[in-house]
Structure 1
Amino acid sequence: MKRNVFKWIGVAALVALYACGGSGQKEKKQESAFTGAAGEVKLLVLDPGHFHAGLVQKTMYKQISPDVHVFAPAGSDVQAYLAQVEGYNNRKENPTSWNEIVFTGSDFLQKMLAEKPGNVVVLAGNNQAKTEYISQSVGAGLNVLADKPMVISPQKFSELKAAFKKAEENGVLLYDIMTERYEVTTRLQKELSRLPDIFGELQKGTPDEPAVVEESVHHFYKLVSGKPVQRPAWFFDVEQQGEGLVDVGTHLVDLVQWNCFPNQALQPEDVQILKASHWSTQLTADEFEKVTGMPDFPSYLEKYMVENQLEVMANGEMTYQLKGVNVRVKVEWNYEAPEGGGDTHYSFMRGKLCDLVIRQGEEENYQPTLYVEAHADVDLGTFTGNLEKAVIQDMPITGLSLEKTGDRAWKVVIPDQYRVGHEAHFAQVTQKYLQYLVKGKLPSWEVPNMITKYYTTTEGLKKAREVE
């Protein structure tokens, strides 16, 4: 079996040091059905309808069998997924060697659950059915690696919560793919926020001036693996894809929890939604055809049509408190990025001594960039010395440097070898999940935090709809 080698191999040490699952405490070895042996993990790809399903297979893994069983209804969704994997198999550089064994039929879910030719279900597709797929899979004793979001409806949150309990009872691992934890600037922001001499303590902020802000801008028309992504028409139906707050918002809420309260189990009771809103992005018929390949809007989208344009309720913003810390999360979808640009992420954390800010705009050449901005009342000489020592000597990444951008501001300069890109993060998440399978458990905080995360997103959506 050939194994794909990405540029991100150079960050192996970083991934290990920043292991998202570690609690810092030595845990008792659990019995597991997995040993780490070659080919013991057998994937079941269920109803793939999003290109993230294919990205899990952009590289090979020693622990995963090359034989992948696919269960899906016949149609363009599964064909797009198969073409994506075939492209990885046939590329010139580091080709993969997946063998796709495909069943298409109306009883695809029942067929998978009855035969169970694998032990790990990969879910990335229509989100309307995803919570049910999760529940059915873990109920059948199958592990699940699911693309976000696991739930898009406030009414289905209790079903997801019950699925986690069912997974525990059946001894299987239910886990979502949180790629943003692996972005190098995000990791460094988290690391610096743990240093009292640099960040101090996380501030509480106010609802009008939150101490933590996470914002994301995405685009319907974009390139994936060097090719324009063709989205299914249902992607533009919020009843099937989900609104922005419960879709991309999942990543942002996850980063808030992961950054601010690392390795701590959070509960829904720790969350108070203060305010929320949502709004639409308009698509013309020509734009819709360009991104879907369909010359006409399907009938189920007619309810979103206003003056011959499709109104997609893809955007949302909410302010909430997490353990008393005021947080703002904002998701926006545009049709297409500016020339040379792409999806962008903005992240802000206010400490007692400084702000840690990730920007990804035109000034940063649309590359995530971490800034450290000292507060006016901080002794600049002492702070500068502490910052230089922390960044240049003490970080578990070599080659970092600082570039002055203002009297009290610096940019953290990161070597290119650590900038691996969004697509490579899917392999990093998968590798981490494989480690958890061998351990036979997730870190103790992961499940309560997933439950709290989806409580936050669904309650935020509920609040946004209440004020219409």
Structure 2
Amino acid sequence: MQQYRYSYFLGASLLMAACGPGQPKEEQDMVHLITLAPGHFHAALVQKTATPGIDSVVHVYAPQGPELDAHLNLIKQYNERADQPTSWKEEVYTGGDWLEKMKSDRKGSVVVLAGNNHDKTRYIDAAVQAGMHVLADKPMAITQEDFVSLRKSFADADAAKVLLYDIMTERSEITNILQKELLRDASVFGEMQPGTPQQPAIEIESIHHFYKMVSGKPLRRPTWFFDPSQQGDALVDVNTHLVDLTHWMLFDTTELDYKQDIQLTSAVKWKTPLTKSQFSTITGAETFPEFLLPYVKDTVAGIAANGTVDYQVKGFHVRLSALWNFEAPAGGGDTHYAIARGSRCNIVIRQGKEESWKPELFVEPVAADTAFTSALEASVKRLSAKYAGISVEPQGKRFRISIPQELKTGHEAHFAEVLQRYLGFLKAGAVPAWEVKNMIAKYYVTTAGQAMAKEINK
């Protein structure tokens, strides 16, 4: 694929459409956001903090309903908070032709998408065909048909000179960053082991919870979130992050060809039981909606929320698992376990009870000796020039990488960091070609894995 480029002429014309002719040039040069059909709280997290270069007026096109209300309430909360309040001005259109109106109004240059995944590829196509850039929450595709549509959208975006990109917040998590840094240091990690199906080179398990707190308040989820045909199951939803992390850690900026470099081995999926009371707590709905009734037995819904996929990428074995429970243990939260197996050590992220439910990074040597300790200490010292304050702490036969609190920015803050990355692409005039190729490879793994997955009982 050719370098994925952005036309300054087209960008300028979109911004002029969003700005009056008498406005100062610095206002016309700002990026103007459009929020399209916000149905997931991630749409609001893009705006949790003010970002230089982003205009404060955001145009919202969506149907009326509780999802739009929830989105606007979060923005209002950000505007009215005591600590570093934002000053967003939401211009909302809710007419029945809201999608066509967005395309004809052309009041922004970047369309932000986070909502019902059943419609996401259609919305991506609409924005690209209108000549608008797209910043989309994951997943951008939940079926193999969506994958075909998404590939076409990337090709159309390339031809139209607009940027299409997904929001990969996990690359901003400091334990993931340092795991990647140490993995790429041969003096510590040695060589990546190709692994086996039983002991993969990379193995990641992510556990999430339906009932959770967001921006200090209980999260109210829409009822469709629990429908695999609208939200997608775990293999195509959370698993998007896990595939992205795997390829990013292993290959950095190397382009992947999904047809040649990836071979899927197996996939399984299973359900999480959810009582009517639990469902009501999460959604506010008194009963299960009609579209969930096929999954209900004896007043308990079986939610298609868990899955594991095994595959090979360039000869390395990978196992990825995404799971959902109703709520976290007392004092707990979402968890993440990731192990990269090298010839000299394993580099492991753990986030369980022993870690007080916070992600911690460990180095577990194959042979703990003075030479290895010296190599690790030297590596961390080099990295501390870039990540100030990190250090090595021996813990029996393993080492803990101590990370200062100021580097632990948190999931919600990562959205602003992804937005900064995207603004950098706009300024540079391109989404790097490797990013585009690897997004396509990523959604091949998720959608093909979902298609081959066998249902099991657990």
Alignment TM class, shorter chain as reference: over 0.9
Counterpart of 1:197 in 2: which secondary structure? helix
The reply to whether residue 156 of structure 1 matches residue 146 of structure 2 is yes
Q: Which residue of 1 aligns with 2:355?
A: 364
Which of the numbers 287, 292, 301 marks the counterpart of 1:310?
301
Counterpart Cα distance in 1 of 2:456 and 2:279: 29
Which of the numbers 384, 389, 405 marks the counterpart of 2:373?
384
Q: Which residue of 2 aligns with 1:281?
A: 272
Q: Which residue of 2 aligns with 1:296?
A: 287
- Gapped regions of structure 2 (runs ≥ 5): 13-24
Q: Which residue of 2 aligns with 1:428?
A: 417
Task: Indicate conservation of the 8 Å contact 1:29/1:439, yes or no.
Answer: no
Q: Which residue of 2 aligns with 1:342?
A: 333
State the Cα distance separating 1:116 from its structure 2 match.
Answer: 1.1
Deviations 1:140-181 (A, max 9, x none): 100000000000011221100000000010110000000000
Counterpart of 2:433 in 1: which secondary structure? coil
The reply to whether residue 444 of structure 1 matches residue 440 of structure 2 is no
What are the equivalent positions in structure 2 for 1:11-26 lying under 5 Å apart? none
The reply to whether residue 454 of structure 1 matches residue 430 of structure 2 is no
Which of the numbers 69, 75, 81 marks the counterpart of 1:85?
75
Which of the numbers 77, 92, 96 marks the counterpart of 1:106?
96
Which of the numbers 200, 220, 234 marks the counterpart of 2:224?
234
Which of the numbers 49, 52, 55 marks the counterpart of 1:62?
52
Q: Which is further off, 390-399 or 449-458?
A: 390-399
Number of positions where the alignment pairs a residue of Structure 1 with one of Structure 2:
439
State the Cα distance separating 1:106 from its structure 2 match.
Answer: 2.2
Task: Indicate conservation of the 8 Å contact 1:32/1:437, yes or no.
Answer: no
State the Cα distance separating 1:439 from its structure 2 match.
Answer: 1.0
Which of the numbers 101, 123, 133 marks the counterpart of 2:123?
133
Counterpart of 2:431 in 1: which secondary structure? coil
Task: Indicate conservation of the 8 Å contact 1:127/1:242, yes or no.
Answer: yes
Q: Which residue of 2 aligns with 1:416?
A: 405
What letter corresponds to residue 162 of structure 2 in structure 1? Answer: V
Deviations 1:16-65 (A, max 9, x none): xxxxxxxxxxx999863569955621111000000000000001112111
Counterpart of 1:221 in 2: which secondary structure? coil
Counterpart of 2:125 in 1: which secondary structure? helix
Which of the numbers 332, 337, 351 marks the counterpart of 2:342?
351
Which of the numbers 331, 345, 366 marks the counterpart of 1:375?
366
Q: Which is further off, 136-145 or 458-467?
A: 458-467
What letter corresponds to residue 406 of structure 2 in structure 1? Answer: Q
Q: Which residue of 2 aligns with 1:244?
A: 234
State the Cα distance separating 1:352 from its structure 2 match.
Answer: 1.2
Describe the shift of the 1:173–1:420 C-alpha distance in structure 2 as closer, same or farther (beyond 3 A).
same
What letter corresponds to residue 235 of structure 1 in structure 2? Answer: F
Counterpart Cα distance in 1 of 2:419 and 2:375: 36
User: Percent identical across equivalent pairs?
Assistant: 49
Which of the numbers 121, 134, 142 marks the counterpart of 2:111?
121
State the Cα distance separating 1:392 from its structure 2 match.
Answer: 2.5
Deviations 1:374-424 (A, max 9, x none): 103x6x1111001011113444212111111122x1000000000110000
Counterpart Cα distance in 2 of 1:339 and 1:192: 33
TM-score (norm 2): 0.93
Q: Which residue of 1 aligns with 2:313?
A: 322
Q: Which residue of 2 aligns with 1:71?
A: 61
What letter corresponds to residue 418 of structure 2 in structure 1? Answer: V
- Gapped regions of structure 1 (runs ≥ 5): 1-26
State the Cα distance separating 1:96 from its structure 2 match.
Answer: 0.4
TM-score (norm 1): 0.91
Counterpart Cα distance in 2 of 1:53 and 1:257: 25
Cα RMSD, aligned residues only: 1.8
Q: Which is further off, 91-100 or 30-39?
A: 30-39
Counterpart Cα distance in 2 of 1:112 and 1:28: 24
The reply to whether residue 223 of structure 1 matches residue 213 of structure 2 is yes
Counterpart Cα distance in 2 of 1:173 and 1:155: 22
Runs of 4+ displaced beyond 4 Å:
27-31, 33-39, 465-468
What letter corresponds to residue 347 of structure 2 in structure 1? Answer: L
Q: Which residue of 2 aligns with 1:463?
A: 452
